[in-house]
Amino acid sequence: MAEIKERGGEAVVNYDSVTTTEGGENIVKTCVDNFGKIDILVNNAGILRDRMIFNMSPEEWDTVIKVHLYGAFNCTKPAVTLMREQRSGRIINITSPTALGGVPGQSNYGTAKAGVLGFTRVLSRELGRYGITVNAFCPIAATRMTETFGHGATRRMPQPEDIAAIVAFLASDAAADINGQTISCTGGQIALYTPNPTIVRSINKDGRWTVEELLRIMPSTIAADLVNPSPPQPSADS
């Protein structure tokens, strides 16, 4: 906050938790009380509780889901109530490469961030008619969150200031026709992802398929050339 004020801007702080309905409402209220309205919401709250699924506790699962996915809902609902009345607004939901490609040890985080993608696509259809755009931003950069949990490689990654400009752009009037999209930034590269999963190949017949037919046909059609991203490895005892 001090840095914003030093550069001539205005800022206030709110310490409520995004994991609760009341917390989300209070965060939005803090904005409206101090600035008169809310035009932009960036759902950026995040934590990590990395663990392989067979070692993950229910608490580690719940905590991450609540911060990322519940947090997006808890802040978005009170914000869009006001944005809908003023018929304008920008919502930017932060997702992650883990949701797009999968990272071992992050099933809780990847699930939450994949949920954010679905949340974004649905809301873009619901809210676009009111002049509200909803997009997902996939940053690839080192942060306090990643370094706290020992992701040492992140120290060689772009820094937050290297990717912040795209968020500011998506919040601007120039982005009025960008809605329901997923955009990533890795320092100098900005990329647009397909808005929805696309069908790569298909097989068709009249009526239902039988297991016997699929056993015969699938390996040379739908499953042809598919590669297991994590093939079985010899056990330590073998």
Q: Which residues of 172-188 are buried (b: 16+ CB within 10 A; e: fewer)?
A: eeebeebbbbbbbbbee
| DSSP states of 170-189 | HTSGGGTT--S-EEEEETTE
Q: Are 72 and 24 in contact (CB under 8 A)?
A: no
Q: Sheet containing 189-192: which strands, arranged edge to edge? A: 40-43, 89-94, 132-139, 182-186, 189-192
Give the C-alpha separation, 67 to 60, whole Å: 11
From 15, 70, 109, 130, active-site residue: 109
Query: Residue 41: helix, strand or coil by DSSP?
Result: strand
> Exposed/middle/buried for 217, CB within 10 Å: 0-12, 13-18, 19+?
middle
Residue 109 falls in the annotated catalytic set: yes
The amino acid at residue 198 is: T
Residues in the chain, how many?
A: 238
The amino acid at residue 12 is: V
Residues labelled catalytic: 109
